[in-house]
């Protein structure tokens, strides 16, 4: 993983250096996040699909159900009748739509030779194919690329947008499109998979604990360098 102190001295541009200061402050406060939970790249990818529009706790229950029934494999999911698969992942919510998404993902993954078959393929090509699958949008595709495949793509979510907007690092973060924000990060940070992984997870941790819709600025470790916190809003 890139050392935040080394980036500060290497000159990643003003915005890049501010990002690395933010990263260092969050990591010092919250500690390593070791995200994404999962015993295999496939389990991580399944989790990225199941966690859409729900909590990780609900997604984890759905994964546990698949594991308990020995269905947490490409072949295992494809062997399940549609209604059975939907029932197994019911705790994750939107289970019929997610069962169709999981089946489509498994058909695609099996067709390309599994994760091993993706090893030498360009990230851009894999991303385009993921985005062509029903139910997989940019955030889910990038979670699979970063966490399951170890590709240097920065994941954008609501927590990331909120932190960028409130700190003043990116005043239009609430209005800019997903691809604009992803490119903004990737142009200002080194392409380091471990750091992208940690940074995204730290945004999530901070957004859940402190930088909520109704923020707890008095408890915020970065309030001193946050526009929103300094206004005392």
Cβ pair 151, 191 in contact under 8 A = no
Supply the CATH number for residue 87's domain.
Answer: 1.10.340.30
Tens of pLDDT, residue by residue over 155-197, are 999 999 999 999 999 999 999 999 999 999 999 999 999 999 9
Residue 63 CB burial class (10 angstroms; 0-12, 13-18, ≥19): buried
Residue 7 has pLDDT above 60, yes or no: no
Distances (CA, A) of 217 to 113, 141, 174, 176, 199: 48, 32, 19, 25, 20
Q: What is the pLDDT of residue 12?
A: 62
What percent of the chain has a predicted confidence (pLDDT) above 70?
A: 94
Query: Which DSSP letter does residue 47 get?
Result: H
Q: What is the pLDDT of residue 2?
A: 58
Q: What is the pLDDT of residue 230?
A: 81
Q: Give the residue among 113, 120, 111, 114 at the shortest CA–CA distance from 45.
A: 114
In a shared domain, residues 58 and 95? yes
Q: What is the pLDDT of residue 99?
A: 98
Q: Give the residue among 56, 69, 38, 81 at the shortest CA–CA distance from 159.
A: 56
Q: Is residue 118 part of a domain?
A: yes
pTM for this prediction: 0.92
In a shared domain, residues 177 and 208? yes
Last residue of a domain, one of 148, 170, 200: 148
The total of structural domains in the chain comes to 2
Q: Give the residue among 34, 94, 46 at the shortest CA–CA distance from 72.
A: 46
Q: How confident is the model at residue 15 (pLDDT cuts 50, 70, 90)?
A: confident
């Amino acid at each position: 993983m890139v050392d935040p102190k080394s980036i500060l001295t290497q000159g990643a541009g003003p915005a890049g250096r501010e990002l690395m200061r933010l990263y260092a402050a969050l990591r010092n406060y919250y500690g390593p996040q070791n995200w994404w939970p999962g015993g295999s790249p496939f389990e991580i990818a399944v989790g990225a699909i199941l966690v859409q529009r729900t909590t990780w706790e609900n997604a984890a229950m759905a994964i546990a159900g698949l594991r308990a029934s020995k269905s947490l494999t490409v072949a295992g999911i494809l062997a399940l009748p549609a209604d059975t698969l939907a029932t197994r992942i019911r705790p994750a919510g939107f289970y019929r739509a997610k069962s169709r998404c999981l089946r489509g993902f498994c058909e695609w993954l099996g067709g390309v030779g599994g994760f091993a078959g993706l090893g030498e393929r360009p990230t851009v090509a894999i991303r385009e194919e993921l985005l062509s699958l029903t139910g997989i949008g940019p955030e889910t595709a990038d979670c699979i690329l970063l966490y399951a495949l170890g590709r240097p793509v920065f994941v954008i979510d609501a927590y990331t947008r909120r932190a960028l907007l409130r700190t003043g690092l990116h005043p239009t973060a609430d209005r800019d499109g997903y691809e604009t924000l992803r490119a903004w990060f990737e142009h200002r940070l080194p392409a380091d998979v471990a750091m992208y992984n940690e940074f995204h997870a730290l945004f999530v941790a901070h957004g859940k604990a402190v930088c909520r819709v109704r923020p707890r600025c008095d408890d915020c470790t970065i309030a001193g360098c946050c526009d929103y916190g300094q206004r005392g809003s």
